[in-house]
Amino acid sequence: MILDLLFPNRCIHCNRIIDADLLVCSSCFEHIHFTHFNYFEDNLFKEKCKLLFPVENAYALMYFEEENLSRKIIHELKYKNREKTGKVIANWTIGRLDFKNNKPDLLVSVPLHPKKERERGYNQLHLFTEILSSQYHIPFDHHLIKRNYYSQAQALKDKKHRLKNDNTFSISKKVSDKHILLIDDVFTTGNTIATIAWEILNSGNNKVSILVMAID
């Protein structure tokens, strides 16, 4: 309580004091560029995925644009030691994504290399995934996919090096006859998502859908 008085939570955009469980104030919230995609219908994101691998459904919550508030939100989650941002984004997703009677069997998030996770202190996708798992009653597995190499953050790479992800990921155990929802923060070139999707698809008679916080 005393810390809240001394260091009140502030909107990451306008610096206005807000409730402790919020990320942006109500005024700035209106500036977030949500996609309004339909998970079950063709959309821009699904079309991008279909160019890279067979995909069942695809959903992106926000647009990740230059000077856009969504970019600041993702950077708060990944680089500003604000893990709770994942909870806020999960709640926004829950309010917009309805699986109806066609839920995936398993939620799997893109892993960090153990060294990178130790440096950051958390995987920015874990809390997000766990909240969705609880809400939709879908199990999750944080260990199905393994990142084999420690590498520079995707956001800090040039486009040429982003496209080089061969053998970066591997699947840790046999999984088959599952519909897996693969979760990531930002879809840029799609190379990371595609590499993991093919690992899952080649592991058995699996299907893959994609959920990302934002699409570039």
Extents of the domains making up the chain? 1-31, 32-215
Return d(Cα 175, Cα 188) in angstroms, integer. 27
Q: Is residue 177 scored above 50 in pLDDT?
A: yes
Structure confidence at residue 1 as a pLDDT band (50, 70, 90): low
Q: What is the pLDDT of residues 27-50, one digit of tens each?
A: 999 999 999 999 999 999 999 999
CB proximity list for 91: less than 8 A, separation 6 or greater: 131
Residues 65-118 have pLDDT tens digits of 877 899 999 999 999 888 999 999 999 999 999 998 899 999 999 999 989 889
58 Cβ contact partners less than 8 Å away, ≥ 6 residues apart: 37, 39, 43, 45, 46, 48, 49, 209, 210, 211
pLDDT on residue 4: 54
Q: What is the CATH number of domain 32-215?
A: 3.40.50
What's the confidence (pLDDT) of residue 163?
A: 47
Tell me how crowded residue 190 is: count the other CB atoms within 10 A of its CB. Answer: 22
CA distance 186 to 74: 8
CA atoms within 13 A on the CB side of 133: 19
Q: At what angle do helices 126-136 and 85-94 cross, to 10 degrees?
A: 30
Whole-prediction pTM value?
Answer: 0.89
